[in-house]
Structure 1
Amino acid sequence: MPKVTAQHLMEQFHLELVNQDDDINYRPITTSDISRPGIEMAGYFTYYPAKRLQLLGKTELTFFSELSEDEKDDRMQRLCTYDTPGIIISRNLEVPEQLMQAARDVGVPILRADLSTTRLSSQLTTYLESKLAPMTAIHGVLIDIYGIGVLITGSSGVGKSETALDLVRRGHRLVADDSVEIHQEHDNMLIGKSPELIRHLLEIRGLGIINVMTLFGAGSVRNFKRIGLAIHLELWDENKTYDRLGLTEDEMKIFDTQVPKMTVPVRPGRNLAVIIEVAAMNFRLKRMGINAAQQFSDRLTDVIEEGDQDEF
């Protein structure tokens, strides 16, 4: 998990640092949840989520302004802990002196933004969910084919990159080659992208490294894509029985998400790019409720049943 601190939020959202940088301890932000401590302003800290970013808006600060001086000191001292990664003030509101003093004592950064509280909360949550999402790396190729993110895996030398090059020539878009970084940003949503070092690059044996964007244009690449289908390439095994109808559906588990998986045998004479392209189109049809294999099976069942009735 990458390390995210209040300093990263300052750079990303152009937030103003209110207190002195020398007094600040930039603690890591470990959750994308944002806390609006309204009930804490009323004095209830039993379930106070101290490790979350604290967002104070007009409602919280207006209520705070009506408290007595002793209550103000108490609330802010309990709000600022050694676990709190940061406190953000929205709408460019004035920062209470009690908050400044309490934050100074424990080194909590106080940031200020000119956005509304709701909009700022939404933007912060989206950014943190992306940055703090679980991540893994898989050896393979990720291609955007007709809007479907297709993850192509297989042993080294089986022809993944060559197939990707052929797909790019056919108008599809490369996301990553060789190493695919996969983030689970939401339940059942896997986002794949390329490491920065090899972004837009393809390695073709005998040819070397090529820059896909330079050769085929900006429309031939994209920086990230949701993974919808996994296709595993393997050398043809004469002793193995491969699915010929497409009725059985295999799955590949990444984190807690099951991704539909197909196994495509590789041997001379097979056009893998066309096969994978058709597999992506057929996958789209299945999601629309059109399953050619099931339709064939139903027709075959009807013919068999009609034949049995004719015998009687």
Structure 2
Amino acid sequence: MSKFVTVEELINTLNIELVYGREYANRRIYSSEVSRPGLILTGYKAYYPHERLQLLGRTEMSYINAQTKDERRTIYEILLTQETPALIFARDMRIPYEAIEVAEANQVPILRAKSKTSRVLANLTNYLESMLAKRLSKHGVFVEVFGMGVLLVGDSGVGKSETALELVQRGHRLIADDRVELYQIDELTLKGEAPEILQNLIEIRGLGIIDVMNLYGVASVRGTKTLELIIDLVVDDGTREYDRLGFEQEYEQIFEVNVPKITIPVKLGRNLAVIVESAAMNHRARQMGYDVQNQFNEKLDNLIARNSKEHAE
């Protein structure tokens, strides 16, 4: 079954007023795209997406108000069909009587927002994309380290939650422990958050469940974050070879997004929190154009060239 958001949920979440159609507020919204009518105002109806939310701003209303009464009614009949979830007026504009007449005939709710049209459009799109996006529940611990969303994965008992707790004590923030809900914003961006029942909580073996926000304050947790790096914590049993120089870049594909991934062997006595911090900073440095592996290669090439020159002489 397709995911949907009701008009009532939209009203309760965003700063939007229900002007008409309380009894129709259970209408379902299936698309995260919001339509700002352009050509349709002139009567061109081909391919127009009636199933989307319809948003009218000052530009559209200035055109509509310049038309005759019959022409205005025709425009609203095109905009407000039985497929239309709702019609939204931005900038706290007055609702024309013709719009209410047509909305009543087709049982479409009419909404009004105080913000300027571009802001209303952005708020609607962001909310609908987050609610209607495909979601994936992944086992792991999601933390914010130096402003970067880092997902710690690995077998149960490897030390993910303990590492996250030490990171919180070092000033970083917890987003989700045990289960992380991931959803795609666009072709480059994944967001992650905790299931509602697990928000702000972390489980430590031997201690049980800890309320991180209650113990460490509101600055120790965050609701949602973009996923930028995956760190796989693997128990080092001596049977596996690891990339010691960091030349190989791994990725894990989640939906259509390739997320950089690092595998870190876990041994007794290793301070995983410090290693995770270093991995995050090193990844950020790469993003900013500094690559220590390239620097190492250049130094090695210079050393080889210098030694070859000395031997030749």
Q: Does the TM-score normalized on the shorter chain lie above 0.5?
A: yes
- What does residue 159 of structure 2 align with? 159
Are 2:72 and 1:72 aligned? yes
How far is the alpha carbon of 1:62 from its aligned partner? Answer: 3.4
Aligned residue runs from structure 1 range 162-177, under 5 A: 162-177=162-177
The farther-off stretch of 46-55 and 99-108 is: 99-108
- What does residue 31 of structure 1 align with? 31
Preserved contact between residue 25 and residue 107 of structure 1 (Cα < 8 Å):
no
Counterpart AA for 2:6? T
The farther-off stretch of 256-265 and 33-42 is: 33-42
- What does residue 15 of structure 1 align with? 16
Q: Unpaired runs of 5+ in structure 1?
A: none
How far is the alpha carbon of 1:25 from its aligned partner? Answer: 6.1
- What does residue 273 of structure 1 align with? 273
- What does residue 95 of structure 1 align with? 95
Query: What RMSD in Å do the two structures reach over aligned CA positions?
Result: 2.1
Aligned residue runs from structure 1 range 1-312, under 5 A: 3-22=4-23, 24=24, 26-312=26-312
Q: Distance in 1 between matches of 2:286 and 2:117?
A: 42
Change (3 A) 1:161 1:311: same
Counterpart AA for 2:176? A
Preserved contact between residue 8 and residue 25 of structure 2 (Cα < 8 Å):
no
Q: Unpaired runs of 5+ in structure 2?
A: none
Preserved contact between residue 142 and residue 152 of structure 2 (Cα < 8 Å):
yes
Counterpart AA for 1:254? I
Preserved contact between residue 179 and residue 194 of structure 1 (Cα < 8 Å):
yes
Q: Distance in 2 between matches of 1:16 and 1:29?
A: 17
Aligned residue-pair number: 311
Q: Distance in 2 between matches of 1:296 and 1:92?
A: 60
Counterpart AA for 2:108? V
After TM superposition, the score normalised by the length of structure 2 is 0.91
The farther-off stretch of 112-121 and 193-202 is: 112-121
- Secondary structure in 2 matching 1:18: strand
Preserved contact between residue 26 and residue 109 of structure 1 (Cα < 8 Å):
no
Change (3 A) 1:69 1:219: closer
Q: Distance in 2 between matches of 1:74 and 1:219?
A: 53
User: What's the % identity of the aligned pairs?
Assistant: 45
Q: Distance in 2 between matches of 1:305 and 1:77?
A: 78
Q: Distance in 2 between matches of 1:69 and 1:219?
A: 56
Preserved contact between residue 133 and residue 184 of structure 2 (Cα < 8 Å):
yes
Change (3 A) 1:289 1:18: closer
The farther-off stretch of 213-222 and 237-246 is: 213-222
How far is the alpha carbon of 1:201 from its aligned partner? Answer: 1.0
Q: Distance in 2 between matches of 1:105 and 1:249?
A: 59
- Secondary structure in 1 matching 2:20: coil
How far is the alpha carbon of 1:119 from its aligned partner? Answer: 3.0
Q: Distance in 2 between matches of 1:61 and 1:118?
A: 15
Change (3 A) 1:15 1:217: closer
Q: Distance in 2 between matches of 1:112 and 1:209?
A: 44
How far is the alpha carbon of 1:172 from its aligned partner? Answer: 1.7
Q: Distance in 1 between matches of 2:115 and 2:172?
A: 39
How far is the alpha carbon of 1:50 from its aligned partner? Answer: 0.7
Preserved contact between residue 88 and residue 113 of structure 2 (Cα < 8 Å):
yes
Q: Distance in 2 between matches of 1:272 and 1:67?
A: 68
Preserved contact between residue 134 and residue 185 of structure 1 (Cα < 8 Å):
no
Counterpart AA for 2:271? N
- Secondary structure in 2 matching 1:295: helix
- Secondary structure in 2 matching 1:294: helix
Change (3 A) 1:274 1:50: same
Q: Distance in 1 between matches of 2:33 and 2:73?
A: 26
How far is the alpha carbon of 1:214 from its aligned partner? Answer: 1.8
Change (3 A) 1:13 1:165: closer
Q: Distance in 2 between matches of 1:169 and 1:95?
A: 53
